Amino acid sequence: MDQSLTNIISIDIGNTNKKAYLFKNEQEPKAFNLDELNSFAKSEDLNTENTKTIISNVTLNNQKDLINPYDISKYLKDNSFFDLNLSYSKTIGIDRVLASFFVSKKQDKAIVIDTGSFTTVDIIENNNLKAGPILPGLELLTHTYKKSQVLGSYELEASNNKINDSQSSLNKGLYLSYIAPILKYIENYKQYPVFLTGGASELLKELLSKESDFCIQKEPLLIHKSLELIARNYL
């Protein structure tokens, strides 16, 4: 543990892209291109004495230029991740664990939804992660609907709108395919706050707000904030 460490670089390797941020003192996190790490490190005066790099995924091919790199996935073992208990650990995605870990430090009970390539829905209860379903993300669903050249364009349409033609039927289908499975799974946790992260979190927040009375909080950079928290307090 090194709370005096000045700089933390967090790297998240997702299904479709890789993202890197610098956490420096009390400043806002700064995004940067990982391919330009050397020049960025020089401009920010980053070195092995003042910087730690935390990686969420071991699939990062070239790590030789990273400053004090730590692979966080090695701490995922024996149905636990540091002091967070897991319902299973051998195959769970590290991104889900990281998002839930950060939230568990803020709330005893919560729902964590990550809207990436897939939508994951997890439950936090008293420092235990109950892993929920992995659902098709909005991009995957819309890709399916794009295959219908006969029905033409589409848009997400609220569930209380009437179906009066094939277009509105298509819109309703897309809407329900996306929102209904999420609502069904979380309906028994209505007293839990919802934490949203990922690319479609703003849209999902709007949709959930129309369909439910959950307390919803959008949490940008949830995985990166979790990596910084771990770097400063657990390593």
The yes-or-no verdict on residue 146 having pLDDT over 80 is no
Query: Residue 64: CA atoms inside 13 Å, Cβ hemisphere, count?
Result: 1
Of 101, 158, 159, 173, the closest CA to residue 131 belongs to 101
Sign of CA dihedral 67, 64, 96, 86: negative
Q: What is the pLDDT of residue 151?
A: 55
Q: What is the pLDDT of residue 4?
A: 55
The yes-or-no verdict on residue 5 having pLDDT over 90 is no
Taking CA atoms, 203 is separated from 160, 164, 222, in Å, by: 17, 25, 17
User: How far apart are alpha carbons 132 and 194 in whole angstroms?
Assistant: 14
Q: What is the pLDDT of residue 158?
A: 64
What are the domain boundaries of the chain?
A: 7-74, 81-224
The yes-or-no verdict on residue 63 having pLDDT over 70 is no
Three-class DSSP labels, 150-204 = CCCCCCCCCCCCCCCCHHHHHHHHHHHHHHHHHHHHHHHHCCCCEEEECCCHHHH
The yes-or-no verdict on residue 62 having pLDDT over 80 is no
Sign of CA dihedral 194, 195, 201, 203: positive
Q: How far apart are the first and last CA of the chain?
A: 5
Of 82-91, 103-112, 157-166, which range is least confident?
Answer: 157-166
The yes-or-no verdict on residue 109 having pLDDT over 60 is yes
Q: What is the pLDDT of residue 183?
A: 95
Tokens of 29: 């996190």
Q: What is the pLDDT of residue 15?
A: 62
Of 61-65, 167-171, 178-182, which range is least confident?
Answer: 61-65
Tokens of 11: 């790297």
Give the architecture-level CATH label for domain 81-224.
2-Layer Sandwich (3.30)
The yes-or-no verdict on residue 119 having pLDDT over 70 is yes
The yes-or-no verdict on residue 155 having pLDDT over 80 is no
Mean pLDDT to the nearest integer, 150-169: 70
Query: Residue 221: CA atoms inside 13 Å, Cβ hemisphere, count?
Result: 17
pTM of the model: 0.88
Q: Is 59 exposed, middle or buried, given 0-12, 13-18 or 19+ CB atoms closer than 10 A? A: exposed
SS3 122: strand
Q: What is the pLDDT of residue 76?
A: 87
pLDDT digits (tens, 9 = 90+) for 186-233: 999 999 999 999 989 999 999 999 889 999 999 989 999 999 999 999
Taking CA atoms, 10 is separated from 27, 138, 221, in Å, by: 15, 26, 10
Q: Angle between the 166-186 and 201-211 helix axes, to the nearest 10 degrees?
A: 90
The yes-or-no verdict on residue 1 having pLDDT over 50 is no
